[in-house]
Amino acid sequence: MWKKIKQFLFIVLVLNVVFVVWGRFFNPPITITQIGGLFEYGKLKRDYISYDEMGNNVKRAVIASEDQKFFIHNGFDYTAIEKAMEHNEKGKKIRGGSTISQQTAKNIFLWQGRSWFRKGLEAVYTFIIEKAWGKDVILERYLNSIEMGQGVFGVEAAAEYYFGKQSKDLTTSEAAWIATVLPNPKKYDPKNPSAYLRKKHNWIMRQMRNVSLK
C-alpha cells in the first residue's frame, strides 16, 4: 500500500514539474476556471497572444488596478496581506491581498475558492513560478488567462468583446475600463458602468501614470 502511495506521489510530482516547465514556454491549453465559464455561460472567448502583442496600456492598467508592486515583490505583498487580514477581521466584506503572481498560480494550476488547502498550494506554485518563469512570463500568462467577463478570458478577447479592437490598440481609457472588471468580472460590465465602476475607472487612470513596466 505504501509503495503505491509513493508511486502515486512521484507521478504527481513529475507531472507538476512537466506542467511548470511547459508553462514557461506555452500558455495553458485550458484552465479549470475556463472550463467553469464554458459550462456556466456556454461560451469560451479567448485569444492567447504574446507579451509584446498586448501593448503597454492594458499592462499598466491591470498592474495599476491589481498589483502596483508586481515588479518589485517576490510573489507576495506582505503589507497588502496584513491589511487584508485586518480588514476582514473588522468588516463583513472579504478583501483579498493576492498579487498578480498568486492569481496566476491560482488561475493556471488550481481552482477558485478560499480554502486554506488551496491557498497553501497557491503559495507553493507562486514561489516556483517566480523562480522558474520570471515577471514577463507571469504577466503574459496572467493577462492571457484571467477572467474578464462572462465567458471572456484574457485581455485580447476582452478588447475585442468590449471595444472591437486588439488589445495593443486600446487607448489609456479603454484599457482602464477593462481593468475595472477585476476582481469581479462576472458582476461588472464596462459597457454599462455603475457609479462605483466610473469612480474606479478614474482611480485606475490616475494610478497608471505611476506604473512602470520594469
Furthest CA-CA distance within the chain: 60
pLDDT at 93: 54
Q: H helices of the chain, where?
A: 2-25, 32-41, 56-66, 78-90, 100-109, 116-132, 135-145, 155-163, 172-180, 195-208
| Domains in the chain with CATH codes | 49-208 (1.10.3810.10)
pLDDT at 6: 67
Q: Over the range 48-85, which residues count as b (16 or more CB within 10 Å of their CB) and which as e? A: bbeeeebbebbbbbbbbbbbbebeebebbbeebeeebe
* 8-state DSSP, 169: G
* 8-state DSSP, 178: H
- Smallest Cα–Cα separation from 32: which of 135, 93, 108? 108
pLDDT at 19: 81
pLDDT at 127: 93
pLDDT at 17: 79
pLDDT at 111: 82
Distance CA 11, CA 6 (A): 9
Give the pLDDT of the chain (214 residues) as one tens digit per residue.
Answer: 776 676 766 676 777 778 888 889 989 999 999 999 999 999 999 999 999 999 999 999 999 999 999 999 988 877 766 676 665 555 555 555 689 999 999 999 988 877 888 889 899 999 999 999 999 999 999 999 999 999 999 999 999 999 999 999 999 999 999 999 998 888 898 888 999 999 999 999 999 998 988 7
Interior CA angle at 39 toward 126 and 160, to 5°? 75
pLDDT at 21: 84
